[in-house]
Amino acid sequence: MPQQNSAPLHVLRLACSPRGVESESLRLSQQILDRLSRQAGERGLALIDSDLNDLPHADHAYAAALASPNEPDRAHPGSTLQRSDRLIQQLDAADVLLIATPMHNYSVPSTLKAWIDHIVRIRVTFIGTPQGKQGKLRDRPVYVAIASGGLISGEHAQQPDFLCPYLKAALGTVGLHDLHFFSVEGTARGEVALEAARERTVAAVERFFAAQC
């Protein structure tokens, strides 16, 4: 009989909201995390939480390194290139990526964009081929917990959604294609509407994971 994997399920959670523990996206990500923990069973779950709100943006030295035809021999301690190395290693070690993010102006917040700019890296996480960019990371489940002030899906959508297609393209560039999106919509529409949105989203999460069993 094949041996079951006894190592814990390693989950990397990215917190992108400036509202911290009060954010709807983090609350939703916890619902997903609880289901992942139940799914892992006796294997258990090892969580790494990463708050992206203090992550610096890419700088001149980093841009110059990526524009060079050859990767630098080594990254200087404390440099943006070294930070990129660390973030890529952290991602590559995870079995599951969980992103808790608000929608800012129809797309991802700048905190999440900064992280993406660090991990989407030529010659390291993707290569250029005659057929286009090819990801070098192994695929794994990616769960995205979204909070939006307005309605972004269904027949009553009131604003465009550039967040989901952007993440599909950006993460797909490095080899991550197994994306699943859950959203709490209409967070700015009052407490009654918000509570109803939470209930709908929790039900959607439950249905999704029940179907995985």
Strands 142-148 and 179-185: parallel
Alpha carbons 187 and 192: distance in angstroms, whole number: 10
Alpha carbons 1 and 123: distance in angstroms, whole number: 40
**Cβ atoms 141, 83 nearer than 8 A:** no
Alpha carbons 63 and 83: distance in angstroms, whole number: 13
Longest dimension (CA), the chain: 56
- Look at residue 72 in the predicted model and tell me its pLDDT: 64
CA distances from 166 to 5, 30, 42, 113, 116 (A): 33, 23, 36, 10, 11
CA distances from 123 to 66, 85, 134, 159, 190 (A): 9, 12, 10, 37, 47
**pLDDT, one tens digit for every residue, the chain (213 residues):** 444 667 999 999 999 999 998 999 999 999 999 999 999 999 999 999 999 999 999 888 888 888 887 766 566 767 888 999 999 999 999 999 999 999 999 999 999 999 999 999 999 999 999 999 999 999 999 999 999 989 888 888 889 999 999 999 999 999 999 999 999 998 888 899 899 999 999 999 999 999 987
Homologous superfamily of domain range 9-212: Flavodoxin domain (3.40.50.360)
